[in-house]
Structure 1
Amino acid sequence: MNDLAPAPAARAGVAQLRAAQQRYQADAVMSAAPERLLTMLYDRLLLDIERGEAAQRAGEWQEANAQLQHAQSIVAELTASLTDAWDGAAGLRGVYAFLTTTLVGANLGRDPERTRSCRDLVAPLREAWHAAAQQVAAANARPVSSAFPAQARA
């Protein structure tokens, strides 16, 4: 037997660890506040674009395709989450449409510069949504002293 091959028990342990990580991630998504879900999507979108660009520059076309297609799926989810009740929805929908078109073109054309332009567009949006989410979280936070009745503090 190859001394470098992991033992069956070790493989089972790794599989259990991966399953636990996946459960943890799913629970984190399911219990996240809406503003946190939005920032999580932007975080992953930026990561996918960066990974896609790196894979393109390395000539790893299958990996680039997988990353850029996942990025496109996230943009589709972001687009679907827009509500017309918000005044900025139409403008952001236009940004998402442009981003989708550019991601598709960058993927099909195997063009890391177009992918980089997507990154340059998404990065400041991500930062803006993170700042907005922090403001929402701060506004929703209750002071500790008001969480307890007056007699409990005395």
Structure 2
Amino acid sequence: MSTAAMRERYLQDSISTASPAKLLVMLYDRLVLDLVQAEEALAGGDKVAAGPPLMHAQEIILELRSTLDMDVWEGAQGLADLYGFLLTELIDANVKGDAGKVATSRQILEPLRDAWREAALTVGASAGAR
């Protein structure tokens, strides 16, 4: 098995065995990575290279928004509205080649990612204590 195939299998196994909390953190990690890559490309004047990570970031935000259960948490509507705002900003950033909008979106998302990571660790620790 080639190194690339082994890496792909490892990634697939990691995803298929991850808890829902860990999957959420993985999505946020990839979202932030996409924004960093797009921001760097736009800062360098390369709109073409910024397109794929911006499109992928938009897909992740759509997935996050569509999987929100609005009946479980009263703050879900606010988070859905934030996802809608971020989606609009990233579309606009892609159309206009605006690295600033990408940077602002990333600055909004990084604390959310960190909060979800902390929550996942807390849930994981409490589950392990049982």
Tell me the TM-score normalized by structure 1.
Answer: 0.80
Ranges of 4+ aligned residues in structure 1 off by more than 3 Å: none
Q: C-alpha displacement at 1:63, in angstroms?
A: 1.5
Q: Once the two structures are superposed, what CA deviation does each residue of 1:32-66 show, in whole Å capped at 9, x if it has no partner? A: 00000000000000010011000111122221000
Q: C-alpha displacement at 1:142, in angstroms?
A: 3.0
Structure 1 position 35 matched with structure 2 position 25: no
Q: C-alpha displacement at 1:20, in angstroms?
A: 1.3
Q: Given residue 17 of structure 1, which amino acid in structure 2 is its aligned partner?
A: T
* Aligned residue in 2 for 1:24: 10
Q: C-alpha displacement at 1:108, in angstroms?
A: 0.5
* Aligned residue in 1 for 2:78: 91
Query: 1:89 & 1:106 partners in 2: Cα distance?
Result: 25
Q: Given residue 106 of structure 1, which amino acid in structure 2 is its aligned partner?
A: A
Whichever of the two has the greater Rg, that structure is 1
Q: C-alpha displacement at 1:77, in angstroms?
A: 1.0
Structure 1 position 138 matched with structure 2 position 125: yes
Query: 1:93 & 1:138 partners in 2: Cα distance?
Result: 28
Query: 1:31 & 1:81 partners in 2: Cα distance?
Result: 19
* Aligned residue in 2 for 1:149: none
Q: Percent identity at matched positions?
A: 40
Q: Once the two structures are superposed, what CA deviation does each residue of 1:62-84 show, in whole Å capped at 9, x if it has no partner? A: 21000100000110111122102
Structure with greater contact order relative to length (CA < 8 Å, sep ≥ 6): 2
Question: Which residue of 94, 116, 124 corresponds with 2:111?
Answer: 124
Query: 2:91 & 2:27 partners in 1: Cα distance?
Result: 19
Q: Given residue 30 of structure 1, which amino acid in structure 2 is its aligned partner?
A: S
Q: C-alpha displacement at 1:113, in angstroms?
A: 0.6
Cα RMSD (Å) of the superposition?
1.2
Q: Once the two structures are superposed, what CA deviation does each residue of 1:80-119 show, in whole Å capped at 9, x if it has no partner? A: 2210222211110001000000000011110001111101
User: Aligned pairs, how many?
Assistant: 129
Gaps of 5+ in 1: 1-12, 144-154
Query: 2:11 & 2:56 partners in 1: Cα distance?
Result: 17
